[in-house]
Amino acid sequence: MDFIIMGRDVKIAPSILAADFADFGREIQAVEEQGADWIHVDVMDGHFVPNLTFGPALCKAIRPHVKTVMDVHLMISPVEPYIAAYAEAGADIITAHYEATHHPHRTVQAIRAAGCKAGIALNPSTPAESVEYLLDSVDLICVMTVNPGFGGQSFIWSQLQKIEKLKSMIGSRPIYLEIDGGVDTETAASLVEAGANVLVAGSAVFEGGSVQKPAVYGENISAIRNTFEV
């Protein structure tokens, strides 16, 4: 799947962390039918971040329901021992944290060797310059605009400068610049203006909707998109 050039210029990637855990299959189908471009899976280990969420078995279980792109964000440490398991579970993109490994370049290489697109994520305190040497090795850079670990946090506005810096550093390279944390109708336009082209949104997409009321997901996605598309 060559999703580097597919579809809209700006992707909306709902995070299933905000979906109904008892009904992931139908939730994914509903949100994709309502306009989601990717499905974002936040993997947390209770060690690197203060929360515990999904393992490879969950990713394997939902893979048949994901018709777009399964974007797996590993907020875990160590990360290297688990790359193969998430690749085998069907991830299209695997993103590891710069802070979770002593050897980010080796981690990125391992992700690509496993057959997935490779992403590197930066916590709010990690400067853009940290990943400059990785720009020819990654397919995606994820900027955390909240402290990783929980959904529903307030957006850290100082991260806009980091996004702008990364956009300049990326230049013409085919690298996605993804934002994770606090994406909603109040922040989306500023993020896109700064250079972001993948927006991870949890509660801003899923709030108020359900598999019985899927149109609400579409309305929420459209509300986000309408802030930056004329």
- Each residue's pLDDT tens digit, 197-207: 999 999 999 99
Cβ neighbours for 226, distance < 8 A, ≥ 6 positions apart: none
Looking at 66-176, list the stretches that DSSP marks H as alpha helix, in order from N- to C-terminal side.
Answer: 83-88, 104-113, 159-170
Helices 215-225 and 24-33, interaxial angle, to 10°? 50
In Å, how far are 38, 45, 154 from 7, measured between CA atoms?
11, 32, 29
* Residue 65 zone, left/alpha/beta (φ > 0; ψ -120 to 50; rest): alpha
- Each residue's pLDDT tens digit, 108-158: 999 999 999 999 999 999 999 999 999 999 999 999 999 987 666 789 999
Distance CA 113, CA 118 (A): 10
Question: Percentage of the chain with pLDDT > 90?
Answer: 92
- Each residue's pLDDT tens digit, 168-190: 999 999 999 999 999 999 999 99
Catalytic residue chosen out of the listed positions 37, 42, 139, 184: 42
**Is 2 part of the annotated catalytic residue set?**
no
- Each residue's pLDDT tens digit, 24-44: 999 999 999 999 999 999 999
**What is the helix (H) or strand (E) element at residue 57, kind and residue range?**
helix 56-62
pLDDT value at position 148?
85
**Is 180 part of the annotated catalytic residue set?**
yes
- Each residue's pLDDT tens digit, 48-100: 999 999 999 999 999 999 999 999 999 999 999 999 999 999 999 999 999 99
Catalytic residue chosen out of the listed positions 45, 71, 180, 184: 180
Peptide bond into 78 cis (omega under 30): yes
Q: Is pLDDT above 70 for 4?
A: no
Q: How many CA atoms lie within 13 A of 45 on its CB side?
A: 14
pLDDT value at position 175?
98
